[in-house]
């Protein structure tokens, strides 16, 4: 069964799904949604279409490991996802994922303005890769 990673943001959400064996990232994309409830329902539908068995939600922590308002928002979103999808939702420390995603895009020759369109998908891919590496 596939695993889906989610980089949750207020306006854009990065999504990445593993291959069937749960070894590598198979696809990644962004979804624009400002409403948390609608976002949860849309992600649940995408997970069902792709035969996803586990959701991995990025948990934004401060560099010292403490949690702030963004982490609390992710915890609330986790509850919605579990209710809407019926799937287990693992919280995954996503510290530095967006910074690394920007660095990857920059190294690939993307201009800073173009990063907005894809940085969340790359961040979701990094969350997914980190999680997949931890379960091997």
Question: Per residue in 65-77, pLDDT tens?
Answer: 788 888 999 999 9
Closest CA to 54 of 23, 90, 80, 29: 90
pLDDT at res. 123: 87
Q: Where in the chain are the domains?
A: 2-135
pLDDT at res. 96: 62
pLDDT tens across 20-56, in order? Answer: 988 889 899 999 999 999 999 999 999 999 999 999 9
Q: Beta strands 2-7 and 52-59: pairing type? A: parallel
Q: Beta strands 89-93 and 52-59: pairing type? A: parallel
pLDDT at res. 119: 77
The pTM for the full model equals: 0.86
> From CA 119, how far away is CA 133, in angstroms rounded?
21
Closest CA to 57 of 33, 35, 39: 39
Domain 2-135 classified CATH 3.30.420.140? yes
pLDDT tens across 88-135, in order? Answer: 999 998 866 566 655 665 665 655 655 566 778 888 999 999 999 998
Q: Between residues 85 and 22, which one has the greater pLDDT?
A: 85
Q: Between residues 109 and 1, which one has the greater pLDDT?
A: 1
CB neighbour list of residue 70: distance below 8 Å, 6 or more residues apart: 60
């Amino acid at each position: 069964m596939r695993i889906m990673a989610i980089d949750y943001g207020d306006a854009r959400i990065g999504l990445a799904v593993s291959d069937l064996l749960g070894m590598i990232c198979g696809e990644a994309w962004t979804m624009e949604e400002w409403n948390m409830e609608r976002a949860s329902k849309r992600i649940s539908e995408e997970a069902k279409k792709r035969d996803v068995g586990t959701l991995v939600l990025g948990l934004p922590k401060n560099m010292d490991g403490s949690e702030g308002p963004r982490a609390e928002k992710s915890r609330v979103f986790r509850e919605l996802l579990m209710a809407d999808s019926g799937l287990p939702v693992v919280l995954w420390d996503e510290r530095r994922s967006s910074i690394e995603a920007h660095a990857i895009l920059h190294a690939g020759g993307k201009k800073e303005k173009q990063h907005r369109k894809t940085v969340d998908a790359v961040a979701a891919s990094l969350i997914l890769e980190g999680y997949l590496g931890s379960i091997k």
